[in-house]
Amino acid sequence: MDGADLCYTPALELRRLIQTRALSPLELAKVVLERIERLNPVINAFLTIPSDLALEQAKAAEARVMRGSPSGPLEGIPYSVKDLEPTAGVRTTYGSKWFEHNIPSEDGAVAGLLREAGGILLGKTNTPHFGYKDMCDNLLGPPCRNPWKPDRTSGASSGGAGAAVAAGLGPVAQGSDGAGSIRIPASLCGIFGLKPSFGRVPYHPNADYWAARSHIGPMTRTVRDAALLLNVMAGPDPRDPLSVRCPPEDYLAACDGSLEGLKVAFSADLGYAAVDPEVRSIAERAAGRFAELGCVMEAPAVSWPDPREFHKIIYEVAMAARLVDRARARPDWIEPTLQRIILNAGTVSAIDHGKALLARSAFYSAVRQFFETYDLLLTLAMPLGAWSVEPGPDEGPREIGGRPAPTMFDRLSFMYPFNLTGQPAATVPCGFTSEGLPVGLQIVGRPYADAAVLRAAAGFEVLQPWAQHRPPLG
């Protein structure tokens, strides 16, 4: 196969070729690195590309394969790590001027697991300043662009990861998701992204373990590649006090099996979300196909409250608590939209913040009751296609489907509810707009039902495959 075909080959197939010695890990790494060198200046998916380290790791993987002693399930497989995850000896910026030259001495929990599994670290993917928003720009360099239309955003905060996987710059990527940050770019870039159940994948180091909102998970072109990556990532870690203590399932095996008889709800707006009519139509048609998989489909009215206002308080206060001192010291190193978040948080009283946390608990109870009736919920992922890549004080569209959308939270109506509840949620590509922009369908499961979400996604992938579609990058 030619270089582009190799770069778009699923990780599971690459693993088979490597294990049978039909493919050299070193040659694979060289091909992918050459593609990164050519395309990264176009889309800016990577902030740091440690080519020498990648080639060194590939040589070591090849030696282990040749002597029949692979180190783990990712032996020789190229992967990327979001630049919010520390990587020992490799620059980790957090998308921040304060950490522009930061070289950690230790891996984060997931970076360490990926390294131990024998994977080849291609680089650190682009992210906004501490992952604060749904567009992938920062003050370190050019914004990350959408491979399908480079004048559009990739989404964020795992925007570099989404763009890299979509562009064939590595088959698998690590992402993180505090208000949609895996699922947003997965939807806008046309790949698969999974936010596992909260705590299923350890998150260490973490400035605020007890916020119980951020999830780490896989971003890939195929569902089974995500399951392969989740098998490596998942499991307890005593450094993360909220990591799930029971052992994880075999997520690759979970992709097989029937969906016959599952009770599945579809909601086009959750009762409150603004939605572009074309995107809604594409997602509705895709959701209807789950009946072909034997699911019992319903479209109930969603009765839980709109969490926008109390989520905004929780989110902005948490972000401001981390960054307010730096913002005071160097306001020129803080983006206008981030500065606005910090200023907004300064107007919130402790009582109002406490009430927002109480509202989160009530919201969880309402969603939990909904899932006593339904095994899965299908929604749109993003309510619109990718918008302009240009950052600014009022970035992003001001309306969606004819309704006002004054803040980014109005674009994320289907995303952050399931960070508030901690449930597993995945986005699968389900079509393209008339502009040729990807559209995603979200699959949400009951708490800790990661296997059911993966099985549903794998079933949909058989009915309506997407990995054959490639952005027009060459």
Catalytic residues: 82, 157, 181
* Amino acid at residue number 185: P
DSSP sequence for 298-350: E-PPP-SPP-HHHHHHHHHHHHHHHHHHHHHH-GGGS-HHHHHHHHHHTT--H
Cis omega (within 30 of 0) for bond into 424: no
Beta carbons within 10 angstroms of residue 366's beta carbon: 14
DSSP sequence for 389-406: ----TT-S-SEETTEE--
Residue 49's Cβ-side half-sphere holds a number of Cα atoms within 13 Å equal to 21
Burial 46-82 (b: 16+ CB within 10 A, else e): bbbbbeebbbebbebbbebbeeeebbbbbbbbbbbbb
Cα separation, 378 vs 128, whole angstroms: 28
Cα separation, 184 vs 31, whole angstroms: 28
Beta carbons within 10 angstroms of residue 84's beta carbon: 26
Tokens 């992952």 belong to residue: 131
Cα separation, 100 vs 91, whole angstroms: 8
Please write down the HEC assignment for all residues of 353-378: HHHHHHHHHHHHHHHHHHCCCCCEEE
Burial class (CB in 10 A: 0-12, 13-18, 19+), 278: middle
Tokens 């309402």 belong to residue: 366
Q: How many angstroms from the chain centroid is the CA of residue 291?
A: 27
Question: CA nearest 41: which of 169, 134, 162?
Answer: 169
Backbone angles phi, psi at 86, to 5 degrees: -65, 140
Cα separation, 121 vs 90, whole angstroms: 10
Question: CA nearest 106: which of 85, 125, 120, 126?
Answer: 85
